[in-house]
Amino acid sequence: MLASDPAHRPSEGLGADPGRVAQCFRERVVPCGTEPVNHLEAAVEAKLAAVRSLEFAPDASFAADFARVIASVVATRPHRPSLVAETAPGVVREILRAARTSRLGPADLPAVADRLGGAPAEVRLDLAAELVHAAAPDRLALLARWVWNPVRRTGILSEFGGEPPESYAGTQLRLGEVRLELSALGFPSSTFAAVDVLCALTYAGRIDRAVDASFQGGGIERLLPGPFPLATMLLGVRRRLSNADR
């Protein structure tokens, strides 16, 4: 939950750069306003709960419920029919159960992706990241490729400074450091949802800067959504927010 008057109390000795986290927070989160950001965080929490509920979804509704989850992930949306058809409900339930009961961690992500079917390997990694994150959002961060790809060393995590993580475990650690910094900045969260919000708004800001530079102020960029609606799409919560196009 974002406080209305955040104050920065920097931490020391962390891999993430407190100054850069604070800069992203000030430039990308604070301008959106307290209420919209809190609504965005709540929408993320609701999405995570919907994903988590697949563990106990009845067989009769599982395919439809799973399809909605897939549709909420940017990378997996185009593969929705094949992912539903080629991934057994029991596999999804077991992944969620194992992550919820601490039998899965960040290092297990590639193995989790291998258990899914119906999409290219990198797309399955993103779906695996969403499932594991939703199962234990208080403990496990979102390790999707847009956040950080430790193989290619690409993703928004580079905006927060520190040596680039070389593994999923290292990415988890770095995002945990970012979470601590957000708490110091007045944006604490009982889960990693606040980190999801920061990452998405920062990523959307990067896209917005690139679009503005590409069109050089010609006016075409005004036809495209701004950072806040871009972030809602990236997080898969656009339909949960009535003010996403503001």
| 87 falls within a domain | yes
- Low-confidence residues of the chain, pLDDT below 70? 2-14, 211-224, 242-246
d(CA 171, CA 235): 18
Q: What is the pLDDT of residue 11?
A: 41
In a domain, 3, yes or no: no
Q: Is residue 245 part of a domain?
A: no
184 domain residue, yes or no: yes
d(CA 53, CA 175): 25
Q: Do the beta carbons of residue 70 and residue 150 sit within 8 Å?
A: no
pLDDT of residue 8: 42
Domain range for 168: 18-240
CA distance linking residue 170 with residue 166, whole number of Å: 6
Report angle CA 184, 182, 202 to the nearest 5 degrees: 145
Q: Let me know if residue 139 belongs to a domain.
A: yes
Number of domains present in the structure of the chain: 1
203-239 tens-digit pLDDT: 999 987 776 555 555 555 555 678 999 999 999 999 8
- pLDDT for 245 equals 47
